[in-house]
Each structure stands twice: as structure tokens, then as C-alpha cells.
Copies of this chain bind each other. A is one copy, B any other.
Amino acid sequence: MKEPDVIEGMEVVYRKPQTLTATPMHYCPGCSHGVVHKILMEVVDEMGIQDKTVGVAPVGCSVFAYDYMNVDMQEAAHGRASAVATGIRRVLPDTYVFAYQGDGDLAAIGTGETVHTVNRGENILMVFINNGIYGMTGGQMAPTSLLGMKTSTSPYGREAAVNGYPLRITELLAQLPGAYYVTRQSVHTTAAVRKCKKAIEASFRYQTEKRGTCFIEVVANCPSGWKMTPNEANDWLEKNMFPYYPIGDIKAPKQ
């Protein structure tokens, strides 16, 4: 359903990019996944690289990303998106390749692939949606769940002695020489969305220059998993996630 270009003498200044399909997203109300999908596709649209872009969807709530993103896509096994992206990028060296993964996918089951993909400096963009929980399977503890956080597998709160500390994998990856650009963003406010989009733009640019892996962590909400309204979730995000996962560039090339 495309809205008209002009209405009451006013011109359209913002609309859904054509690189998103018409399919309504299945995400819960207010979920960050939708925002990140949108800005990712806006960048593809604005850069005019739809015909040169291949995406990889993970197993997690964003498993259906290919239903919404209007680019060629592959759906990877749980945790293996970066390996799949490696396979694609190696045989299509002039393509823009991105992998899109949740925290369970990228930082639990896929840790090995994540570390080695970045260590090889694969020329891909890795988008990492850190919502501190396993959204899709019903709110289990993620490696990034905060201490004390109650989830369906830490019903009395995450304890360091049993489950270890929340994993700041992004900081680890930033130290690998293969990582070219590593940043942590969020999408819970207009300003945050704009910044995050800039990070995506930069990452796609670096890909043409074959400079290594670009890695964007998005500190995201999961209203359902956290059992909050979207606005509550975004507040909680700022108050609880940001102190442990501070926003900003972790490794940025000199401009």
C-alpha cells in the first residue's frame, strides 16, 4: 500500500524504502528488529546497490528477515550466518554482503564462527542485535543477559557464579586486526536511529574498499522477552543495558 507522493500540496519526505517488501513484519510491537531492518534497507536503497547486495538471515526472531528485505538472501543455520556470509563473499568478491544476527546466534552458538570471520577480516558487514535474550524461543538467557536478569532459564536472575558474566563480545572482536570498523549503536530514539544508519552507510562504503570486517552491535529491546511495553523497554535499555554496553565507536578508522 503505497501512499501518494503529494497530499494537500505537501510532498512526501519520508516513506518506506522500495527495498523493503510489502509484507507486514511479524515482530512484536515496538521491537528493534523492525527499525534496524528499515535503516539497513534504506542504505541499500540510497546507495543503489540492491542488485549487488546479498544478505544472510540468522536463526532468531529475525529468521524471516528475507521476507521483508527485498534483496537476495540466504537463511543460515543457527549461529553460522558469518560462515555463510564468508562463503558468499569469497565466491562473489564484488558483492555487498551482510550477516544479521541476534545475541544467541552470534555470541553463543556462533562464537567460533564470529571470532574467526572477524579474524580473517572478511569483507562483510556484521549486524549484531543484542537484546540480551533469546527472543524467538521464548525469552531464555542469552550470553549478553545482564547479571540478575530474570529469564525463563534464569528464573531467579542470572548469577555470575553459575552462568558467568554478560559477554561483551564486541569489545573482544574490536581487538582483532581483521576488524576494521567496530561500533555499538542503538535505535531507540530518532537520534540513535540516525547515527546507526550512518554506521551502516560507512560499513557498506568500507566494503568496496575491502578493508576488513565491519561490525555493528545494536543494543536492542525485546519488549516481549523483557515483559515490558515498548516504551518501558526503551527506558530499561538506557538505564540498564547502556552502562554495561556503552554506545559509541569501539574501533573506527581515521577519517
We find that the number of chain A residues with CB closer than 8 angstroms to chain B is 24
Which chain B residues lie closer than 8 Å to A116 at the CB level? 108, 111, 143, 164, 167
Which chain B residues lie closer than 8 Å to A108 at the CB level? 116
Which chain B residues lie closer than 8 Å to A143 at the CB level? 116, 119
The interface stretch among A171-179, A200-208, A234-242 is A171-179
CB-CB contacts below 8 Å: A95-149 with B: 108-112, 115-116, 119-121, 143
Given contacts A112-B112, A143-B116, contact A121 B178 (CB under 8 A): no
| A160 B115 Cβ-Cβ under 8 A | no
The 8 Å CB contact of A119, one of B120, B167, B175, is: B167
The answer for the CA separation of A112 and B106 in the assembled complex, in Å, is 10
What's the least CB distance linking A91 to chain B, in Å? 14
Q: Which chain B residue has the least Cβ–Cβ distance from A168?
A: B175
What's the least CB distance linking A112 to chain B, in Å? 4
What's the least CB distance linking A66 to chain B, in Å? 26
Whether A21 sits at the interface, judged by CB under 8 Å, is no
Interface residues of A (CB under 8 A from B): 108-112, 115-116, 119-121, 143, 160-165, 167, 171-172, 175-178
23 A–B contacts from the bound complex (CB under 8 Å): A108-B116, A109-B112, A111-B111, A111-B112, A111-B115, A111-B116, A112-B112, A115-B167, A115-B172, A116-B143, A116-B164, A116-B167, A119-B143, A120-B162, A120-B163, A120-B164, A121-B160, A121-B161, A160-B177, A164-B176, A164-B177, A165-B176, A171-B175
Sample of 7 more A-B contacts, CB < 8 Å, known A111-B112, A116-B143, A119-B165 = A111-B115, A111-B116, A115-B167, A121-B164, A160-B177, A165-B178, A172-B176
